[in-house]
Amino acid sequence: MTYTTPFTKWLELDSGKVKDPALIQQRHLSDLKGLFADSEAEAALLETNPLVYEVYLAYDGEAQEGQLGYSTTLIYPGKVGNEYFFTKGHYHAKADRAELYYCLKGEGYLLMQSPDGEVNAQSMSAGAGSYVPPYWGHRTVNTGQEPFVFLAVYPADAGYDYGSIADKGFASILVEKEGKAELVTNPNAASRS
Ligand code: PAN
Ligand code: ZN
């Protein structure tokens, strides 16, 4: 038996970034192509192809059962049409793996969807510790004016299944209406399923 040596990674509270990250993943709008409801607004914004979010990986737990992975995600403020910037969203490849999100900065929502299509949206701001139960697909959405930053802690063997959300989208989306975030039915979700 070899034991993993304990360690500490610093999550910088001002920037939301991890110091000495194992990996930085950047997602521009082109990486999210086809996911926003307003395809004309998406095409127009693709000309400047803004950075939508970044993931700072602190540790991946070597994808081993029993280990934990953890990272911070920074979603920048912005919209495609009236729909707020979001992460791609996924189910876990090992679908029964849960996850904890802890908000460090900004404001947004943790949008979840069960395999039978039930939608749940948790409002998050600094201090919110929101739980993603086993089997729920999850996406985060920045509904504020500043970067929305959260720590994610998950079983290292959870993995990612992006396919079904990329194909069908979420049943609900978050849009700005009269200056406020509103959860509405995704006009594209039904036609894609
Ligand atoms: C998070 C997410 C991260 C980026 O660490 O991976 O916020 O979102 P996407 O993976 O959907 O692009 C997590 O849920 N890990 O399991
Ligand atoms: Zn996850």
Confidence of residue 55 (pLDDT cuts 50, 70, 90): very high
Ligand in nearest proximity to the CA of 18: 1
- Report pLDDT for 192: 47
Q: Which atom of ligand 1 is nearest to the CA of 132?
A: 14
Whether residue 193 has pLDDT greater than 50: no
CA atoms within 13 A on the CB side of 50: 15
Which whole number is the average pLDDT over 24-46?
Answer: 97
Task: Kindly report the protein residue whose alpha carbon is nearest to atom 3 of ligand 1.
Answer: 73
Task: Kindly report the protein residue whose alpha carbon is nearest to atom 13 of ligand 1.
Answer: 152
- Residues shown for the chain: 193
Which whole number is the average pLDDT over 48-63?
Answer: 98
Q: Which atom of ligand 1 is nearest to the CA of 162?
A: 11
What is the tens place of the pLDDT at every residue in 103-143?
Answer: 999 999 999 999 999 999 999 999 999 999 999 999 999 99
What's the pTM value of the predicted model, to 2 decimals?
A: 0.97
Confidence of residue 43 (pLDDT cuts 50, 70, 90): very high
